[in-house]
């Protein structure tokens, strides 16, 4: 496994708590992949100073790892007409919390107050919907230790590391709803949908 440079290590080690990690993620502009799909390594995120959810989750996991904590992430799977989401997971005093890179007002940081992984995941359910209000979150993985994917060089590769999200996608996912529950879901109402339109970073137009 390739080591981080001294400069990279100093930055990542300065992110010594989950709130500090989340604060740093929030400073990074959203990676809109305007030049094509990416999956930046942690090194590339620091170089390009931009990230989407997978890239942000890997950076958060790497920061946890440098603190001697497991670099855990969870893959949240949505219906085919929506996007999946990846969060970095941590525990404090036996309770789960999460860090998340998103451009929206909801699917964000979670305080470590959840007794189980399922409780944590369900905290994202009601705000996970399409513009028309259909709720789309369907399943999740157990926490996955990214150190198992060191062969993909996800922390310091100069190239994209698409093997990591592909591996997450192939992991066992646990359903959160029965077919009857899915059938009876109520759509998010107008106020919820309007709140869901709030974004943090806007796509810049014109020359790159």
Domain residue ranges in the chain: 6-196
Question: Over the stretch 71-119, which tens digit does the pLDDT of each residue have?
Answer: 999 999 999 999 999 999 999 999 999 999 999 999 999 999 999 999 9
Classify 6-196 by CATH class.
Answer: alpha beta
> What separation in angstroms does the CA of 141 have from each of 41, 147, 168, 174?
21, 16, 8, 6
pTM as predicted: 0.95
Rounded distance between C-alpha atoms, residue 17 and residue 92, angstroms: 11
Strand partners, 98: 89, 110
């Amino acid at each position: 496994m390739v080591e981080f440079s001294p400069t990279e290590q100093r930055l990542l080690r300065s992110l010594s708590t989950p709130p500090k990690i989340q604060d740093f993620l929030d400073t990074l502009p959203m990676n809109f992949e305007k030049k094509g799909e990416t999956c930046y390594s942690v090194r590339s995120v620091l170089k390009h100073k931009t990230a989407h959810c997978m890239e942000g989750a890997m950076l958060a996991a790497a920061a946890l790892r440098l603190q001697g904590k497991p670099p855990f992430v969870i893959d949240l799977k949505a219906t085919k007409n929506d996007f999946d989401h990846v969060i970095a997971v941590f525990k404090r005093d036996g309770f789960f919390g999460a860090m998340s890179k998103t451009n929206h007002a909801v699917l964000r940081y979670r305080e470590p107050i959840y007794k189980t992984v399922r409780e944590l995941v369900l905290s994202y359910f009601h705000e996970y919907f399409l513009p028309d209000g259909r709720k789309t979150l369907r399943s999740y993985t157990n926490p996955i230790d990214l150190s198992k994917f060191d062969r993909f060089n996800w922390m310091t590769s100069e190239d994209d590391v698409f093997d990591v999200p592909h591996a997450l996608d192939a992991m066992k996912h646990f359903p959160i709803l029965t077919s009857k529950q899915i059938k009876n879901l109520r759509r998010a109402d107008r106020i919820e949908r309007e709140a869901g339109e709030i974004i943090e970073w806007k796509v810049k137009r014109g020359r790159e």
